[in-house]
């Protein structure tokens, strides 16, 4: 690829502006940029998307080629089979549009999968939330997205983590930790207050997750 780029630009007015850097893009510190155009190794699609979306200063847009199923997850709607944690996280931080499908026969040699090109435009300003908290909530909700939220939260490991976080929250706010505290009951009360005891992540809108996160935080329940 490096040799091909040099070959194509050498002798053109743009050659003096060409800056080729060889390395692992996931480990590299990206400079400020306006537009990103990339055909990525498909196995780094997810970490690269979030590296871009958390990059500062905010860029104008990115046009990227992905494996078709991954691209469809980025633009999926609630209720869709492909709707997942990746979908909600990406759409929280950016507007995503599917631009075109790219058939496998456009490549030599042809890959085993179909591809798609998407346009990602970061939201500006970004939502005023703690992304680690947000993602922590989604990890629980989407671990089995067809389960009710009540069932997802009642898992032993989840309750243990939330209880630890609640103890930390009480200590930070100089609140005595109740001896008879019941985390399951507290979580259930928050879900009931939000009208989401029987809600399932697969069909929830972004606004539903936002409402739920704010309600949990108000009750002292945190996810990071």
What is the distance between the alpha carbons of residues 20 and 78, in angstroms, rounded to a whole number? 41
The residue among 90, 122, 154 that closes a domain is: 122
204 is in an annotated binding site: no
What is the distance between the alpha carbons of residues 134 and 209, in angstroms, rounded to a whole number? 8
159 is in an annotated binding site: no
204 burial via Cβ count (<10 Å: 0-12, 13-18, 19+): buried
What is the distance between the alpha carbons of residues 120 and 115, in angstroms, rounded to a whole number? 16
65 is in an annotated binding site: no
| pLDDT at site 157 | 96
Confidence tier at 100 by pLDDT (50, 70, 90): very high
Asked if 179 and 201 count as a contact pair (C-beta separation under 8 A), the reply is no
The residue among 78, 104, 122 that closes a domain is: 122
Is pLDDT of 179 > 90?
no
What is the distance between the alpha carbons of residues 209 and 39, in angstroms, rounded to a whole number? 32
What is the distance between the alpha carbons of residues 120 and 69, in angstroms, rounded to a whole number? 16
Q: What is the pLDDT of residues 24-82, one digit of tens each?
A: 999 999 999 999 999 999 999 999 999 999 999 999 999 999 999 999 999 999 999 99
Domain ranges, residue 8:
2-122
| pTM attached to this predicted model | 0.90
Average pLDDT score over the chain: 95
Region 147-166: mean pLDDT is: 96
| pLDDT at site 14 | 87
Distance from first CA to last CA of the chain, Å, rounded? 41
Q: Is residue 16 part of a domain?
A: yes
What is the distance between the alpha carbons of residues 207 and 211, in angstroms, rounded to a whole number? 6
Region 78-96: mean pLDDT is: 97
- Tokens at 135, concatenated: 């993602």
Q: Is residue 211 part of a domain?
A: yes
Tally of structural domains, the chain: 2
Q: What are the two backbone dihedrals, phi and then psi, of residue 40, each rounded to the nearest 5 degrees?
A: -90, 155
């Amino acid at each position: 690829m490096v040799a091909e780029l040099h070959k194509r630009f050498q002798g053109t007015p743009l050659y003096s502006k060409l800056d080729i850097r060889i390395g692992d893009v996931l480990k590299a510190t990206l400079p400020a940029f306006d537009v990103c155009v990339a055909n990525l190794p498909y196995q780094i699609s997810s970490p690269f998307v979030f590296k871009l979306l958390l990059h500062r200063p905010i860029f104008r847009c990115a046009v990227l080629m992905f494996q078709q199923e991954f691209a469809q997850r980025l633009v999926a709607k609630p209720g869709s089979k492909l709707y997942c944690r990746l979908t909600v996280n990406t759409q929280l931080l950016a507007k995503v549009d599917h631009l075109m499908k790219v058939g496998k026969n456009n490549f030599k040699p042809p890959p085993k999968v179909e591809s798609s090109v998407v346009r990602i435009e970061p939201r500006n300003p970004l939502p005023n939330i703690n992304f680690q908290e947000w993602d922590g909530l989604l990890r629980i909700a989407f671990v089995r997205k067809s389960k009710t939220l009540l069932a997802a939260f009642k898992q032993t490991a989840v309750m243990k983590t939330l209880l630890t976080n609640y103890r930390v929250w009480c200590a930070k706010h100089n609140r005595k930790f109740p001896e008879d505290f019941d985390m399951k009951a507290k979580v259930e009360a928050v879900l009931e207050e939000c009208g989401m005891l029987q809600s399932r992540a697969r069909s929830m809108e972004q606004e539903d997750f936002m409402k739920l996160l704010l309600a949990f935080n108000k009750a002292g329940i945190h996810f990071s």
